[in-house]
Every structure is written in structure tokens, then in C-alpha cells.
Amino acid sequence: MRRCGDCTLCYKLLPVPVLGKLANERCEHQRATGCRIYADRPGPCRLWSCGWLTGEDCAPLSRPDRSHYVIDPSPEFITVQNNETGEQIHIPVLQIWCDPNYPHAHRDPALRALLDAKPIPALVRFSSREAVTLMPPSLCSDGQWHEVEGGSVGREHSFDEIAAVHSGEA
């Protein structure tokens, strides 16, 4: 069974609105050995678990403090809009909170292998608003990795943008 050990990266990267904690700011309740209010922590903290700790398919991944990213099992979606019909499609993605001090950590070969094997796109978050969408080769017609940059969380992707990734034009 995996354990956090010295890792406290989730305390830094993930926002906890109920505590007024923003992404990429240390939680005021963090201590060297974990949470000072662990027994009385708020509901969102009680419900959340690190994907590295709980995901059986995460066995090849390094501990978050060594990989510089945290896999967030909380459900998230990107919205794709078809420019011709106006139809919106919500696509589930795996959330990965990446330490902004290591912006390319998401290029970890073990993480990429996990995403390609699922297969699922990933939303690599650098803050509550800034993110990159990763499309694994198993979802793209050209069999290559694609990073849809320049977007922000909450921004809709156009159907043409995602279709270009799938067709290999991006």
C-alpha cells in the first residue's frame, strides 16, 4: 500500500475554496507531517484522495513530490463546440495538477503511457484558470501526442480545434 511519506504537493497545488486556499499556495494548515486539522478537516479534504495513492494503474508513476504533478481523481470535462451546428459536447478528462515550477513535468513517459493506455485526454492544470489539454496518440488519427495550449479552464474548445488534433492537422 502506498503512503504519502514526505510528499505534501497536493497541499500546494490544489485549490480548496472552502478554506479560501488558492491553487499554488500552501495551505495554512499544512505541517511537515501532514494536516494540522486532519481530524476536523472540511468535507472536500475528507473526500479527496491522491490518484497516485489510490489508482492501481498509477503503479509505474513516481510519487507526486518527485514527479512534480498530482493526479486529481475528481471528475472534470472539457467542452467542445461544433462550429457548424453549435452543438456542445462534454468530454471527460483526467485532471493533472502540474507544479508551475516544473511546467513540462506532464511529459513524464510513465504518465504519458498511462493516458495513452486508458485512453483519455488530460487537462494539465497550472492554476485554477491556466491549463493545457493533452490528447494521447490512441485518440488521434496521426498517432502522435498533441498539446492544445493557450486555453484556460472554463474555455470552450472549438470542434475544429479538437477535430484538427484528431485528424493530425494540429
Local confidence pLDDT in tens for the 170 residues of the chain:
788 888 999 999 999 999 999 999 999 999 887 889 999 999 999 999 999 999 889 999 999 999 999 999 988 888 877 778 888 888 899 999 999 999 999 999 999 999 999 999 999 999 988 999 999 999 888 999 999 876 545 544 444 444 444 444 44
- Number of structural domains, the chain? 1
pLDDT at 81: 76
In a domain? residue 37: yes
Task: Compute the distance between CA of residue 8 and CA of residue 62 in angstroms, rounded to an integer.
Answer: 14
Query: Where does residue 10 rank: exposed (0-12), middle (13-18), buried (19+ CB within 10 A)?
Result: buried
Cα torsion 137, 138, 141, 146: sign: negative
Indicate whether 2 belongs to any domain.
Answer: no
Q: Determine, yes or no, domain membership for 147.
A: yes
Residue 30 lies in a domain: yes
Contact 64, 50 (CB under 8 A): yes
Q: Is residue 84 part of a domain?
A: yes
Tell whether 4 is covered by a domain. Answer: no
Write out the residue range of the structural domain in which residue 106 sits: 9-167
pLDDT number for residue 58 = 92
- Residues in a beta bridge with 35: 30
Q: What angle do CA 58, 63, 69 make, to 5 degrees?
A: 85
In a domain, 3, yes or no: no
CB 74 within 8 A of CB 16: no
First to last CA, the chain: 41
Q: What is the pLDDT of residue 16?
A: 92
